Chains A and B, each alone.
Chain A
Amino acid sequence: MTLTTEQQTPSGGPSSRPALAHGVLPRWAPWAVLGGAVLASAALSVTAGLNAALFAVVAAVLTGGGLYAWSASVEGTRRATDRLVTVVVSSAFLLALVPLVSVLWTVLGYGLERFDLEFFTYSMRGIVGEGGGIYHALMGTLIITGLATLLSVPIGLLAAVYLVEYGKGRLARAITFFVDVMTGIPSIVAGLFAFALFALFFGPGVRMGVVGAVALSVLMIPVVVRSTEEMLKLVPNELREASLALGVPKWRTIVKVVIPTSIAGIATGVTLAIARVIGETAPLLITVGITTGTNLNPFDGRMASLPVFAYYSYVAPGVPRDPYLDRAWAAALTLILIVMVLNLLARLISRLFAPKTGR
Chain B
Amino acid sequence: MATRIDVSDLDIYYGDFLAVEKVSMTIEPSSVTALIGPSGCGKSTFLRSLNRMHEVIPGARVEGKVVVDGQDLYGANVDPVTVRRQIGMVFQRPNPFPTMSIHENVAAGMRLNSKRMPKSELDDVVERSLRGANLWNEVKDRLNKPGSSLSGGQQQRLCIARAIAVKPQVLLMDEPASALDPISTLAIEDLIDELKKDYTIVIVTHNMQQAARISDRTGFFNIAGTGKPGKLIEMDDTATIFSTPSIKATEDYISGRFG
Contacts and interface: CB of A to CB of B under 8 A. Distances in A.
Interface of A: 1-3, 6, 10-12, 15, 17, 19-24, 75, 78-79
Given A17-B169, A19-B71, A22-B77, 12 more contacts: A1-B85, A2-B114, A3-B166, A10-B2, A12-B29, A12-B30, A15-B169, A20-B72, A21-B75, A21-B76, A22-B79, A23-B77
A19 B1 CA distance: 15
Interface residues of B, number: 29
Given A3-B166, A17-B69, A21-B78, A12 B4 contact: yes
A23 B86 CA distance: 18
Given A3-B114, A12-B2, A20 B197 contact: no
Chain A interface mostly: loop
A21 B72 CA distance: 9
B21 to A, nearest CB: 25
B82 interface: yes
B137 interface: no
B30 to A, nearest CB: 6
Contacts of A24: 77, 79
A19 B86 CA distance: 11
11 contacts: A1-B113, A3-B113, A3-B167, A10-B2, A12-B2, A15-B3, A17-B169, A20-B75, A21-B71, A21-B76, A78-B112
Interface of B: 1-4, 29-30, 69, 71-73, 75-79, 81-83, 85-86, 110, 112-114, 166-167, 169, 197-198
> Most chain-B CB neighbours within 10 Å: which of A19, A20, A78, A79?
A20
A6 B77 contact: no
B116 to A, nearest CB: 12
Given A6-B167, A20-B83, A79-B79, A11 B2 contact: yes
A290 B257 CA distance: 83
Nearest to B110: A3
In order of increasing CB-CB distance, the 8 nearest A-B pairs are: A12-B29, A21-B77, A10-B1, A20-B71, A10-B198, A21-B78, A20-B78, A24-B77
Contacts of B79: 20, 22, 24, 75, 79
B33 to A, nearest CB: 15
Nearest to A75: B79
A22 B82 CA distance: 9
Contact of A12 (B3, B82, B110, B113): B3
A17 B69 CA distance: 9
